[in-house]
Amino acid sequence: MAEKRLTPVDMLAQRPDWETYFMDMARLASRRSSCHRRAVGAVLVKEKRVLTTGYNGNPPEFEHCATMGCIREMLNVPSGAHHELCTGLHAEQNAIIQAATTGVAIAGATLYTTTFPCVTCAKMIMAARIAEVVYDEGYPDELGRFMLARSSIVVRRFGDPIPEDLSRSTTHDLTGVVAQMASVPNPRR
């Protein structure tokens, strides 16, 4: 039996909106991740044009954790803590680095990412002058939330047109962030 052909109106109705289109690209990028703990993808967009993409994994020419082992698992480092104890780069970092290595200007861009940025990514996003972050899933990093809450960057959860008021979901001062972080075990002690 032959498939029913869609009318042009039906085709338009099935067409994804721009935000869904870009988040779907970030999800597709996450499929390239070489991290077996969390697959994350990111896409930098400006004026409805894709500038760069990124996914989390080790730097070029460096062995994958799948073959050499994961230092975070070996040290029992919880998610959202001690980002320096990882051989990989985050998706947001790779998207920003790709722009730098290829000469693509990203100031004023929107970052679509499958996971809320960590503190390291938040600092890079701020320094790169990215204007907006649209994320799909949360991430347990209070310092990242704290920094983005104190920046001019618009932060929205995917599907929500209203910017998130990060000041309501994070502490208002650094002392509060430190108190929350004190409960995170330090594997280097």
Task: From residue 121, give the alpha-carbon distance in Å to each of 7, 11, 133.
Answer: 44, 38, 11
What are the structure tokens assigned to 184, written together?
A: 């995170």
Residues 164, 155 contacting (CB under 8 angstroms): yes
CA distance 77 to 61: 25
* Residues taking part in catalysis: 92
Which strand (E) or helix (H) includes residue 55? strand 49-55
CA distance 14 to 20: 12
Buried b (16+ CB within 10 A) or exposed e, 67-86: eeebebeeeebeebbebeeb
